[in-house]
Amino acid sequence: MGKFCYDNLKDQASVVREEIEKLVNQGEIEQLVQKARVNKSQPQVSHPNIICDGCDANPVMGIRYKCTQCDDYDLCAKCEHSGVHSHHTFLKIRDPKQAPAKLICKYPAQTGPMPNFHHDQKLDIQEIAKNVPQMAQVA
Ligand SMILES: [Zn+2]
Ligand SMILES: [Zn+2]
């Protein structure tokens, strides 16, 4: 019985190997590898509706830098590196999906409420934490 199972496995293994060899011969795997390489070497994602405030690039491509202290200030990687807005702290966003809908940053150097925030957007962090017990448990 044991031998039977083993032989059976061996048969299956050779079938799988044949399938793989077929794919390799058809160049399909090579194509897949090429595709993956292309995706890796071109990380140029675009950030729809985001305009660089340094060079007016529209939309910002690649990495988007969002100022955490201004209400609406974004830079492309090139402008961020040029130091055009280096007096403020930036959020580095590679994927548009990672962009936060709202951003609240408070820095030690700042006193009082965020100057650029609208009144209706003010959020009480403790109030939010109370309403999200799962978050408290994880922490
Ligand atoms: Zn720019
Ligand atoms: Zn700023």
Q: What is the pLDDT of residues 56-67, one digit of tens each?
A: 999 999 999 999
Which token pair is 69?
A: 């202290």
For residues 109 and 46, what is the distance between their CA atoms, to the nearest angstrom?
33
Q: Which ligand is nearest to the CA of 90?
A: 2
Strands 64-67, 74-76: pairing is antiparallel
Which of the given ranges, 15-19, 42-46, 119-123, has the highest pLDDT on average? Answer: 15-19
CB atoms within 10 A of CB 69: 18
d(CA 51, CA 58): 5
C-alpha–C-alpha distance, residues 136 and 114, integer Å: 25
Say how many Å lie between the CA of residue 91 and the centre of ligand 1. 15
Rounded to two decimals, the pTM is 0.50
- The whole-number pLDDT of residue 7 equals 76
Share of the chain above pLDDT 70, in %: 71
Using CA atoms, how far apart are residues 24 and 26, in angstroms rounded to an integer? 5
Q: Which residues surround ligand 1, an ion (CB under 5 A)?
A: 52, 54-55, 57, 76, 79
Averaged pLDDT, 11-31: 82
Please state which CATH number belongs to domain 46-133: 3.30.60.90
Domain boundaries, the chain: 2-41, 46-133
**Closest ligand (CA of 105):** 2
The pLDDT score that the predictor gives to residue 44 is 85
Kindly report the average pLDDT of the chain as a whole number. Answer: 80
pLDDT at 59: 97
- Measured in Å, residue 46 CA sits from the centre of ligand 1 at 13
Please tell me the distance between residue 70's alpha carbon and the centre of ligand 2 in angstroms: 4
Q: Ligand 1 centre and the CA of 85: distance in Å? A: 11
Question: Per-residue pLDDT averaged across 112-122, rounded?
Answer: 55
**Comparing C-alpha atoms, which of 72, 99, 100 is closest to residue 88?**
72
Distance of alpha carbon 80 from its chain centroid, rounded? 18
